[in-house]
């Protein structure tokens, strides 16, 4: 009986979470984030505002929670058959998504909440993808790349541009960043 009750509570809790997340996504598509209020979200989700305050604390924490859920990847990056083209394909798609108006808004929601751990969870999604690419490279007998180097010199400039600059990171720009990772190694191989 106790177990059954726990399961039932878990189920209701998950349903509330799902209804509130859906309401934020729906209202977010209709209006700008600064216009959304907790009572609106509650009405759309069919819960009381106090349910939202009790569970998430405040609006910015709820928006950040929804943003992290939306930034969480739903599939592994494409397998193109070789590590360098895998990386180029992943980065091109990543740059396009993160510099889109939706990607920018999600990053801002994550950063605005002042909740520790959420921004690094998002950075962790990117790191997980790069780790997947490297595991594939090793399985194929290829040399893996240095993940920290790709974070610092490919991912970071793309995110800096997406957040702080009016220049959108183009596919050409992304490829030039990756060239800096691969060209020196190629030159060393040619020299040997």
Binding interface with its own copies (CB under 8 A): 32-34, 58, 60, 105, 107-108, 111-112, 114, 119-120, 122-123, 151-153, 155-157, 159-161, 163-166, 177, 180
Shortest distance (Å) from residue 131 CB to its own copies: 16
Task: Name which of 79 and 152 has its Cβ closer to its own copies.
Answer: 152
Shortest distance (Å) from residue 107 CB to its own copies: 8
Task: Name which of 63 and 87 has its Cβ closer to its own copies.
Answer: 63
Name which of 75, 98, 69 is nearest 174 in CA terms.
98
Name which of 127, 96, 109 is nearest 21 in CA terms.
109
With beta carbons less than 8 A apart as the criterion, state whether 97 and 73 touch: no
Task: Name which of 17 and 60 has its Cβ closer to its own copies.
Answer: 60
Shortest distance (Å) from residue 116 CB to its own copies: 8
CA–CA distance, 175 with 129 (Å, rounded to integer): 18
Task: Name which of 19 and 181 has its Cβ closer to its own copies.
Answer: 181
Shortest distance (Å) from residue 153 CB to its own copies: 6
Helix (H) or strand (E) holding 149, with range, is: helix 147-150
With a CB cutoff of 8 Å and minimum separation 6, the contacts of 16 are 45, 47, 51, 55
């Amino acid at each position: 009986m106790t177990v059954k009750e726990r399961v039932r509570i878990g189920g209701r809790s998950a349903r509330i979470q799902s209804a509130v997340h859906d309401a934020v996504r729906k209202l977010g598509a209709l209006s700008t984030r600064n216009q959304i209020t907790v009572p609106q979200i509650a009405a759309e989700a069919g819960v009381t505002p106090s349910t939202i305050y009790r569970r998430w604390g405040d609006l910015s924490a709820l928006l950040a929670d929804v943003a992290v859920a939306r930034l969480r990847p739903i599939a592994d990056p494409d397998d193109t058959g070789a590590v360098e083209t895998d990386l180029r394909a992943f980065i091109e798609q990543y740059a396009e998504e993160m510099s889109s108006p939706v990607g920018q808004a999600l990053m801002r929601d994550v950063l605005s909440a002042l909740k520790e751990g959420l921004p690094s969870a998002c950075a962790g999604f990117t790191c997980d993808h790069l780790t997947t690419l490297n595991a594939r490279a090793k399985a194929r007998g290829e040399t893996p790349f240095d993940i920290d180097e790709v974070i610092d010199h490919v991912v970071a400039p793309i995110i800096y541009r997406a957040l702080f600059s009016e220049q959108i990171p183009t596919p050409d720009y992304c490829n030039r960043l990756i060239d800096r990772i691969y060209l020196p190694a190629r030159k060393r191989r040619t020299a040997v």
